[in-house]
């Protein structure tokens, strides 16, 4: 058990009820994250509410996050998100909190690479609350948070954080054996900086050439 302020509780509950129309039955990640800036006006001196840390005993992110986000508390995301529509065989959806950061961590496992790519490409085609369409190797519009996509043959991973995400370190922890470090796309989207597209084959990373994006 751990005590969190009223501000944190509001941050977690608002996204869960933010979509009511049929056309937007799934939540955007913008609704889940970016919350700390939205609730600066909340007076957290009025008291605290006790909520349960749901950290799992095993899971896809457990080893990596025990290394990178040691003091974070884990909470399951039960809301329907965009990739959920594409029939993953397994998935984990987490919201992590510590004293300085809030992290969104999603992992989807699909039966084959076609389903994985279909989920990712459709996500790119309508990304974010404004449903912006992006191409492979395109520059994402500048945003305040840091994001990371990992797209493999059967795995789709998304992580978002207030602070820079150490992609190389994370990949190394997720797959300790170098020959297992294979990702079709690694998409690093640093806050307010240039997007980096790469590919990893047996632990060797290769930068992919950018394509020109208007307005960046």
> Tell me: the pLDDT tens digits for 13-29?
333 333 334 444 445 55
Is 72 part of any domain? yes
Is 6 part of any domain? no
Is 90 part of any domain? yes
98-119: average pLDDT: 95
CB 107 within 8 A of CB 124: no
Is 161 part of any domain? yes
Distances in whole angstroms, Cα of residue 120 to Cα of each of 48, 58, 133, 161 = 39, 26, 12, 20
Q: Which H, E and C letters describe 163-192, residue by residue?
A: CCCCHHHHHHHHCCCHHHCCEEEEEEECCC
One-character DSSP codes across 103-139: EEEEEEE-SSHHHHHHHHHHHHHTBTTTTB---TTPP
Distance (Å, whole) CA 50 – CA 128: 32
Is the pLDDT at 212 greater than 80, yes or no? Answer: no
* Number of domains the chain contains: 1
Is 106 part of any domain? yes
Is 19 part of any domain? no
The residue range of the domain holding 158 is 56-207
The confidence score (pLDDT) of residue 6 equals: 29
46-59: average pLDDT: 73
Is 129 part of any domain? yes
37-41: average pLDDT: 34
Residue pLDDT, tens place only, 158-176: 999 999 999 999 999 999 9
Which pTM value belongs to this model? 0.78
Flag the least confident range among 51-55, 69-73, 101-105, 120-124.
51-55
């Amino acid at each position: 058990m751990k005590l969190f302020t009223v501000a944190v509780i509001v941050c977690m509950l608002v996204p869960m009820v933010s979509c009511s129309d049929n056309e937007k039955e799934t939540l955007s990640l913008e609704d889940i994250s970016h919350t700390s800036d939205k609730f600066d006006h909340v007076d957290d001196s009025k008291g605290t509410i006790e909520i349960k840390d749901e950290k799992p005993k095993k899971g896809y992110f457990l080893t990596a996050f025990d290394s990178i986000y040691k003091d974070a508390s884990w909470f399951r995301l039960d809301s329907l998100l965009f990739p959920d529509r594409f029939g993953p065989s397994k998935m984990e959806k987490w919201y992590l909190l510590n004293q300085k950061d809030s992290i969104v961590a999603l992992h989807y496992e699909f039966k084959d690479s076609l389903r994985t790519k279909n989920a990712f490409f459709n996500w790119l085609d309508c990304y974010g609350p404004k449903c912006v369409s992006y191409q492979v190797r395109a520059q994402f519009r500048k945003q305040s948070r840091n994001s990371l996509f990992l797209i493999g043959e059967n795995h789709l991973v998304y992580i978002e954080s207030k602070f820079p995400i150490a992609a190389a370190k994370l990949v190394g922890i997720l797959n300790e054996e170098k020959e297992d470090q294979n990702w079709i796309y690694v998409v690093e989207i640093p806050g307010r900086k240039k997007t980096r597209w790469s590919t990893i084959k047996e632990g060797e990373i290769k930068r992919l050439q950018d394509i020109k994006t208007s307005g960046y």
